[in-house]
Structure 1
Amino acid sequence: MNLKLKPNMNQNELGGALFYPNYLPQFNRWMVGQEDLVDTHSWVDPETDFQALKLQPGHSVVTICGGACHALAYLTKQPSVVHAVDTNQTQLALLEIKAKAIQHLPDHNAVYQFLGPANHPDNLKRYQRHIRQHLSEESSAIWQARDLFGRPRYYHFKNHLYRQGKRDQFIHRFKTLAQFLGIDLVSISNSSNLHEQRLRMDDALAKASGKRWYKFIDRLPMYQEVLRRFKQYCQQFVSKENYFTSFYLGKQFETSTPLPTHLQEKNYSILKKSINRLQLHHIDIQDFLTTHGSETIDAYQLLDVQDDLSPGEITKLWEEINRTANQGAKVIFRSKHKQPPFLPILESSISKNWYTDPDINLELYQSEKSCFYGSIFLYQKRT
């Protein structure tokens, strides 16, 4: 779908646009160019999706690919198929290399080293010996492509993968800026409990607010947004017990911290057996759905894609969702907004066939450990 920058974006919208880089097509060459890696991981908490979607063995799932981790996590519920759809071929290549690592590396430890810390020199050998020959032609070309220094892109798995995406780099700049203001995010994240963590965060912000540069930086919407999300994160969850801390701080996973669903050893066997149920599609989700028959899909994960769509595009997307959805099917989506501006339009067009519960939506939002999105919504098809 061809999206255009709004002509009268206010500061908050602009801040959201910079934090969600796909909102500014004019910056595509730097932020989300056709071959750019935007997200190296998913900001979706799979446990929240499991709670919402109630995935069962045999279900058919469609998801936006994005950072890929959530698509892999769904396989632990043994659906019949997980369709991962994206218009960015590089994001699909990320999902494919993660899937092939799980499928073809010799054991869980090798998978963990490749996809967990993702910074070990042996990962280059792992890629060459076990993964490269199993990649599709499109994905192989992406991972073999070289940067300005002549290094193949698969070197990301030797050089801290989770610092290589465009969004990772932006958040790293936020971390550097916070340090400049005297806000030690690492120290805050090392708090032993939630009370201590809140006190450290409040104390750091109080000290920073008195500095000359703080007032200038506080007027930058994109940094306001990241700081707001990290503050919310510190208010709700103990960082030591939350693997999303690694993504916010650019740290590698620690064995003492719970791992993402697809990296947990208890899920390794079922993931390895189910990986062939994952199907990748380089196509717009609406166009993808037009290729499917009526009442064939049980669960949909739209991420925040609707933030970027026009009212007409949202209507057409839901026409296809309504047609392809089984009775009782569920759709979960997120937004950067607390109250998405498209929601009234959506409600007016789908309320006859779909319903939502505001209390459940709030419960899902409060349960999500990433604190990345502004809201979460679950819709279920009426039976």
Structure 2
Amino acid sequence: MTEIVPDAGFRKNHKLKSALLQHNALSRQGLSERLFGLMFSGLVYPQIWEDPDVDMQAMQLGAGHRVVTIGSGGCNMLAYLSREPESIDVVDLNPHHIALNKLKLAAFRYLPDHAAVVQLLATDKARGNATMVERYVAPHLDATTRSYWKGRSLTGRRRIRVFNGNFYRTGLLGRFITTTHILARLHGVRLEEITQCRTPREQRQFFETRIAPLFEKPFIRWLTNRKSSLFGLGIPPQQYDELASVSDTGTIAPVLKARLEKLACHFSLRDNYFAWQAFARRYPKSHEGALPDYLRADYYSAIRTSVDRVKVHHASYTELLSTKPAGSVDRFVLLDAQDWMNDEQLNDLWTEITRTASKSARVIFRTAAEKSVIEGRISPTLSAQWTYLKDLSQHFNALDRSAIYGGFHIYEKSA
């Protein structure tokens, strides 16, 4: 496995800087990019925010497939293992995500049983979790990853101790969600009360009477008009512009309201752990709803016996693909990474995707806006070799429980 770079800060993370920085440092756009980079250089996503059910159905993922995916919080990579693919290569530019992915893999491999995995990754305020990791998991981590988790954060606390509390309230996204709860409370709304709703009708009523009016508050409208206000969601300046383009007014508040409406109203809370994390800042208890797919008991054995099929790389997607033989990848998962990219980066990426794609390979990705980000931007030579499955893409976009993206897209190799 590729080691984590020793210095995880933005200043020395040349891979992240190369992907993110597109403007002069003294320009408004350049300053915004660098501020985002500083915020993104720590742990961002304790949980991934792409629906693995949608991914696996859209990819038609099965035994024998060779997969390349972006790591993020690591949840979906583990869910993919339930389908017993031949291999999964995980890439990420954030060393903190690399450490988290490796820890989750080792937890499945070395913790005593399924209950211990659920205790570590889905139970808040389990005071013995850090001790459990040190006993069963840490001895099997590579030296760099073990040093990371035994090390201390900027607060002086050992990183591994975050698992003794609510791990999902940490990281940039966890802190952002906490901030939104505080902001809602200042306006008289307790977002967690939506979890008391028992029917879709009650969920919609709560949204329309309690959540939707928040977007008319002057301070919230002012706040959401600042690009930096959404850095906590892991949304870089380029992606903010894509989101704003969806709105008739060119502002972000109506888009955020629509995405929250989908999250709150389009799926039963019992079936949507994304809604629980957003509104309750935790996973549901067994009597309240379902856990993430990778924590299901019926997936446990397949995942545990397959963890050795995963390799984790601190590298860009294009960088990793450039090391692979032609025709050696069956499924590509890009998350929303292309929203960050300029035309040159997109063409470099799709050149490598096209070269390494096997016959009938599939690529899936998400976009902040509704349209596919590669249409009209990659070269005709590249695009001619792929078929956009538009109707199927729209079908699965409607089913995505995370609800935060405007578009879900599937491309299939056609030549």
Q: Structure 1 length as normaliser, TM-score?
A: 0.89
- Cα distance in 2, alignment partners of residues 347 and 200 from structure 1: 47
Q: Secondary structure at 1:253's aligned position in 2?
A: coil
Q: 1:25 aligns with which of 20, 23, 34?
A: 34
Separation of aligned partners in 2, 1:203 and 1:71? 37
Query: Does residue 105 in structure 1 map to residue 111 in structure 2?
Result: yes
Give the alignment partner of residue 230 of structure 1, picking from 234, 241, 260: 260
1:324 is aligned to: 356
Deviations 1:197-245 (CA, angstroms, capped at 9, x unpaired): 1111111146546766455456556473544422221131122321112
CA deviation after TM superposition for structure 1 residue 346, in Å: 3.2
> Do the aligned partners of residues 292 and 216 (structure 1) sit closer, same or farther apart at CA in structure 2, a change above 3 Å counting?
closer
Task: Report the counterpart of residue 87 of structure 2 in structure 1.
Answer: 81
Moved more, 331-340 or 69-78: 331-340
Alignment partner for residue 251 of structure 1, among 266, 275, 282? 282
1:240 maps to amino acid: R
Alignment match of 1:68 (pick from 65, 71, 74): 74
Classify 1:159/1:239 alpha carbon distance in 2 versus 1 (closer, same or farther; 3 Å).
same
Q: Against the structure 1 CA distance between its residues 65 and 215, is the aligned structure 2 distance closer, same or farther, given a 3 Å change threshold?
A: closer
For 1:303-314, what aligned pairs fall within 5 Å after superposition?
303-314=335-346
Residues 182-205 of structure 1: CA deviation (Å, up to 9, x unaligned): 233212232111111111111114
Q: Which is further off, 127-136 or 224-233?
A: 224-233
SS in 2 for 1:61: strand
Identical columns (%):
29
Flag the 1:72–1:293 CA change in 2: closer, same or farther, 3 A: same
Q: Look up the equivalent residue of 1:351 and give its one-letter code.
A: S
Q: Aligned partners of 1:106, 1:262: CA distance in 2, in Å?
A: 17
What amino acid sits opposite 1:104 in the alignment? Answer: Y
User: Could you tell me how far apart the structure 2 residues matched to 1:135 and 1:200 are?
Assistant: 45
In structure 2, the CA distance between the partners of 1:349 and 1:91, relative to structure 1 (3 Å rule), is farther
Deviation at 1:359, TM superposition (A): 1.3
Task: Tell me which residue corresponds to 1:4.
Answer: 21
Q: Distance in 2 between matches of 1:125 and 1:362?
A: 45
| Residues 142 and 227 (structure 1), Cα distance of their counterparts in 2 relative to 1, 3 Å cut | farther
Q: 1:242-264 CA deviation, whole Å, 9 max, x = no partner?
A: 11123213124311311111101
Task: Give the Cα separation in 2 of the matches to 1:206 and 1:154.
Answer: 38
Partners of 2:221 and 2:68 in 1: CA distance: 44
1:350 to 382, 393, 397: 382
How do residues 1-383 of structure 1 correspond to structure 2 at under 5 angstroms?
2=18, 3-4=20-21, 24-29=33-38, 31-33=39-41, 36-205=42-211, 208=214, 213=219, 216-217=222-223, 219=225, 222=229, 224=253, 226-249=256-279, 250-256=281-287, 257-346=289-378, 348-383=380-415
Distance verdict in 2 for CA 1:210–1:273, change over 3 Å: closer
List runs of 5+ in structure 1 lacking aligned partners. 18-22
- The farther-off stretch of 197-206 and 152-161 is 197-206
The residue type equivalent to 1:108 in the other structure is H
Query: Aligned-pair RMSD on alpha carbons?
Result: 2.3
> Given the superposition, is the C-alpha separation of residues 323 and 126 from structure 1 closer, same or farther in structure 2, using an over 3 Å criterion?
same
Distance across 1 between alignment mates of 2:102 and 2:86:
18
Change (3 A) 1:226 1:169: farther
Moved >4 Å (runs of 4+): 205-223
Give a deviation string over 1:119-177, Cα, whole Å, max 9, x none.
31110221111011111122112111212443210111112110111012112211211
Instruction: Quote how far apart the aligned CAs of 1:344 are.
Output: 2.1
- Cα deviation per residue 1:290-345 (whole Å; 9 max; x = unaligned)? 11101111000001111111101110111111010100000001111223554321
1:307–1:340 contact (8 Å) kept in structure 2: no
The letter for the 2-side match of 1:4 is L
Q: Which amino acid aligns with 2:397?
A: Y
Provide the rounded CA distance (Å) in 1 between the counterparts of 2:95 and 2:324. Answer: 21
Indicate the SS of the match to 2:208: helix
Distance 2:264 2:379 in 1: 33
Structure 2: unaligned runs, 5 residues or longer: 1-14, 231-252
In structure 1, distance between residues paired with 2:67 and 2:154? 39
Which letter does structure 2 place at the counterpart of 1:130? Y
Instruction: Write the distance in 2 (CA, Å) between the matches of 1:351 and 1:175.
Output: 43
**CA spacing shift, 1:288–1:115, aligned 2, 3 Å:** same
**Secondary structure of the structure 1 residue equivalent to 2:72:** coil
- Give the TM-score normalised by structure 2: 0.83
Distance (whole Å) between structure 2 residues aligned to residue 233 and residue 185 of structure 1:
13
Length, aligned pairs only: 368
Whole-Å Cα distance in 2 between the matches of residues 138 and 162 of structure 1? Answer: 23
**Cα shift at 1:181:** 1.7
Tell me, yes or no, if the aligned pair for 2:259 and 2:403 is still in contact at 8 Å. Answer: yes
Q: Distance in 1 between matches of 2:373 and 2:388?
A: 17
The answer as to whether partners of 1:123 and 1:158 remain within 8 angstroms in 2 is yes
